[in-house]
């Protein structure tokens, strides 16, 4: 009899365990290197509110913005271990593990922002998210985030590749991006983002490139680089991921809920981003920054060798991206 009671008790515990686990509350720590109020941060915070409402408070989300949990390299490592549950990251830290996502780093791989959005919203975007999930990265690809297009700001107007000749332009620390600027006609300089303002002020560099919100918030417009040439040479989405450790602990229903709300966050962040770009563009113009519309075709043609060099392994994927209308 005692043995039977023990067996029955063990059985009841085994049956109840999943129910108890299901009933227990879960707090998801979310990380972002962008500051509070930034479109990606707000969209994920709102995703958390929806998640809490949909689960009657069983699952909550706590946002840690402004890199308080570490820069991307550190935060990604914590996400892989399950110490951080949700993270908005750039593709730079994913590329070494999931090479296919590097296709989005190619210059002019997208015709414009609208084209990029159609790609990430469609089958190609879903496939690349799944590749992240299926990779050894221990991350689950949830959704894409918009970071707009990057254009050139310099101390003199730039309308053609010839105008870039002799200009030293800061690029992100990736040989692909440095080669992109060199191909466009300038002299690409790899430099930490925090050094750009003083380098522009002192003439160590003649220009840099980024989106309008970053150009304004980094105060780079208060340097001699007061001409913003809209080359749109890089349009690189960001990615929202979840720790595989945490994902595997969720029920199928909770996984589906997280995925659906992440997709809604993708769309909401886009609207927030567009408003942000419009707002900062207006502020830059009010500050006297000259926006220059350029014919991007010569820049596209000039960077063909870069796409050939770095995109050889993505030939089929790049064709599929080009075919999206």
pLDDT along the chain (325 residues), means of 10: 45 37 79 93 98 98 95 93 96 87 96 97 98 96 96 98 98 92 97 93 97 94 98 97 97 98 98 97 98 97 96 95 97
> What is the model's pLDDT at position 95?
87
- Indicate the SS3 state at residue 26: strand
Domain residue ranges in the chain: 2-97+112-146+237-275, 150-235+279-323
- How many other CB atoms are found less than 10 A from the CB of residue 270? 19
Angle 103-104-107 from CA coordinates, rounded to 5°: 95
- Provide the CB-side half-sphere exposure for 101 (13 A, CA): 27
Q: Token digits for 223?
A: 């340097």
Could you tell me the end-to-end alpha-carbon distance of the chain, in angstroms, rounded to an integer?
A: 72
> What is the model's pLDDT at position 105?
94
The rounded distance, in Å, linking the Cα atoms of 179 and 314 is 18
DSSP assigned state of 35: P
Alpha helices in 123-243 (DSSP H): 123-134, 175-184, 196-202, 212-217
> What is the model's pLDDT at position 20?
37
Helix 39-54 to helix 252-286 angle (10° resolution) is: 150
Look at residues 169, 159, 179, 178 and name the one whose alpha carbon lies nearest to residue 220: 169
Give yes or no on whether 2-97+112-146+237-275 and 150-235+279-323 have one common fold.
yes
The rounded distance, in Å, linking the Cα atoms of 101 and 137 is 13
Is the separation of the CB atoms in 123 and 190 below 8 Å? no
CA 260 from centroid of its chain's CA atoms:
19
Query: Would you state the CATH architecture of domain 150-235+279-323?
Result: 3-Layer(aba) Sandwich (3.40)
Look at residues 163, 182, 180, 177 and name the one whose alpha carbon lies nearest to residue 292: 163
Is the separation of the CB atoms in 98 and 66 below 8 Å? no
> What is the model's pLDDT at position 93?
85
Look at residues 27, 287, 242 and name the one whose alpha carbon lies nearest to residue 141: 242
Superfamily of domain 2-97+112-146+237-275 in CATH is Bacterial extracellular solute-binding protein, family 7 (3.40.190.170)
Q: Token digits for 127?
A: 């496939």
Long-range interactions of 248-256: CB distance < 8 A, separation 24+: 249/21, 251/22, 254/55, 254/59
The rounded distance, in Å, linking the Cα atoms of 49 and 44 is 9
- Indicate the SS3 state at residue 181: helix
């Amino acid at each position: 009899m005692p043995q039977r009671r023990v067996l029955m008790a063990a059985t009841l515990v085994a049956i109840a365990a999943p129910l108890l686990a299901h009933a227990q509350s879960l707090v998801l720590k979310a990380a972002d290197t962008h500051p509070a109020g930034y479109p990606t941060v707000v969209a994920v915070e709102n995703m958390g509110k929806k998640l809490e409402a949909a689960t009657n408070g069983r699952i909550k989300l706590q946002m840690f913005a402004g890199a308080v949990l570490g820069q991307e390299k550190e935060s990604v490592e914590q996400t892989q271990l399950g110490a951080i549950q949700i993270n908005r990251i750039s593709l730079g830290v994913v590329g070494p593990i999931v090479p296919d996502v590097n296709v989005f780093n190619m210059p002019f791989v997208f015709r414009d922002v609208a084209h990029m959005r159609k790609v990430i919203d469609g089958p190609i975007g879903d496939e690349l998210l799944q590749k992240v999930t299926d990779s050894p990265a221990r991350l689950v690809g949830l959704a894409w985030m918009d970071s707009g297009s990057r254009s050139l700001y310099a101390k003199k107007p730039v309308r053609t590749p010839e105008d870039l000749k002799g200009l030293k332009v800061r690029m992100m620390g990736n040989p692909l991006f440095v080669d992109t600027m060199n191909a466009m006609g300038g002299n690409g300089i790899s430099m930490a983002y925090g050094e750009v303002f003083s380098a522009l002020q002192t003439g160590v560099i003649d220009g840099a490139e980024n989106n309008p919100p970053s150009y304004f918030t980094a105060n780079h417009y208060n340097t001699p680089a007061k001409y913003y040439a809209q080359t749109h040479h890089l349009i690189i989405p960001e990615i929202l991921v979840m720790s595989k450790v945490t994902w595997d602990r969720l029920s199928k229903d909770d996984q589906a809920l997280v995925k659906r709300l992440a997709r809604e966050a993708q769309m909401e962040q886009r609207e927030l981003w567009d408003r942000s770009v419009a707002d900062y563009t207006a502020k830059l113009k009010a500050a006297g920054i000259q926006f220059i519309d350029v014919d991007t075709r010569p820049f596209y043609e000039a960077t063909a060798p870069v796409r050939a060099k770095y995109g050889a392994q993505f030939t089929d994927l790049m064709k599929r991206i080009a075919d999206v209308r």
